[in-house]
Amino acid sequence: MADENKSDGSDVAPDKPAGTGAPEEDKYKTQPLSAVPADAAPKLPETKPEPPAKTEAETTEPPKPVAEKPVKPAASAGEAKPAAEAKTPGEKPAPKQAAEAKAAGDKPTPTPKPAAKAPPKKPPEVETIAIPDDPLVVALKGKFPDTVIDAFAILKQKVIRINRSAVLDVCRYLRDDSAQQYNFLTDVTALHHPKADKKFEVIYVLYSIPRNERVRLKVPLAEGESVQSITSLWSTANWLEREVYDMFGITFEGHPDLRRILLPEDWVGYPLRKEYPLEYEDNEWVAKHLDIRPLAEGADYTGKFE
Partner 1 sequence: MSITEKDILKIAEARTRIEPMFDTQEMTLNMGPQHPSTHGVLRVVLKLDGETVIDLDCDIGYLHRGVEKIAENRTYPMIAPYHDRTDYIAAVSNGLCWVETVEKVMGLEVPKRAQYIRIILTELNRITSHLLWLGTHCIDLGAFTIFLYAFREREEILKIFENYFGARLTTHAFRIGGFWWDTYPGFEEQVKFFCDYFPEKIKEYEIILNENRIWLQRTVGIGLISPEDAVDIGLTGPPLRGSGVNYDIRKAMPYEAYEEMDFIVPLGKAGDTYDRFLVRMEEMKQSRNIVLQALDKLKETEGQPVIAKVPKVIKPPIGEVYHSIEGPKGELGIFLVSDGTNKPSRMRIRPPSFINLQALRQMCIGHLVADVVAIIGTLDIVLGEIDR
Q: Does 268 bind partner 1 (CB under 8 A)?
A: no
Please state, in angstroms and rounded to a whole number, the distance separating the CA atoms of residues 266 and 245: 14
Helix (H) or strand (E) holding 84: helix 82-87
Q: Does 118 bind partner 1 (CB under 8 A)?
A: no
> Radius of gyration of the chain from Cα atoms?
30
Out of 151, 182, 199, 234, the only residue in the binding site for partner 1 (CB under 8 A) is 234
CB of 203 to partner 1, least distance (A): 7
Q: Does 120 bind partner 1 (CB under 8 A)?
A: no
Q: Does 262 bind partner 1 (CB under 8 A)?
A: yes
Dihedral sign of CA atoms 13, 16, 17, 23 in order: negative
If the CB atoms of residues 227 and 237 are measured against partner 1, the closer one turns out to be 237
* Region class of 235: left (phi > 0), else alpha (psi between -120 and 50), else beta: alpha
Q: Does 19 bind partner 1 (CB under 8 A)?
A: no
Binding mask 165-184 for partner 1 (x = CB under 8 A): ------------------xx
If the CB atoms of residues 139 and 191 are measured against partner 1, the closer one turns out to be 191
CB 215 within 8 A of CB 223: no
Please state, in angstroms and rounded to a whole number, the distance separating the CA atoms of residues 251 and 265: 15
For partner 1, the binding residues in 135-164 under the rule CB under 8 A are: 154-155, 157, 159
CA dihedral 33, 37, 41, 42 (to 10 degrees): -130
Instruction: Give the amino acid at 189.
Output: T
Q: Does 42 bind partner 1 (CB under 8 A)?
A: yes
Q: Does 240 bind partner 1 (CB under 8 A)?
A: yes
CB 25 within 8 A of CB 48: no
Q: Which residues contact 96 (CB under 8 A, 6 or more apart)?
A: 80
Helix (H) or strand (E) holding 17: none
Q: Does 302 bind partner 1 (CB under 8 A)?
A: no
CB of 43 to partner 1, least distance (A): 10
CA dihedral 241, 245, 248, 250 (to 10 degrees): 90
Instruction: Give the amino acid at 296.
Output: A
CB of 49 to partner 1, least distance (A): 22
Out of 124, 145, 294, 298, the only residue in the binding site for partner 1 (CB under 8 A) is 124
CB 103 within 8 A of CB 56: yes
Q: Does 30 bind partner 1 (CB under 8 A)?
A: yes
For partner 1, the binding residues in 190-229 under the rule CB under 8 A are: 191-192, 203, 205, 209, 212, 214, 216
Q: Does 283 bind partner 1 (CB under 8 A)?
A: no
Please state, in angstroms and rounded to a whole number, the distance separating the CA atoms of residues 118 and 255: 52
How many residues bind partner 1 (CB under 8 A)? The answer is 61
What residues make contact with partner 1 under the rule CB under 8 A? Answer: 4-5, 7, 9-13, 15, 29-31, 33-36, 40-42, 122-126, 128, 154-155, 157, 159, 183-187, 189, 191-192, 203, 205, 209, 212, 214, 216, 234-236, 238-240, 243, 247, 260-264, 271-272, 274, 276, 278
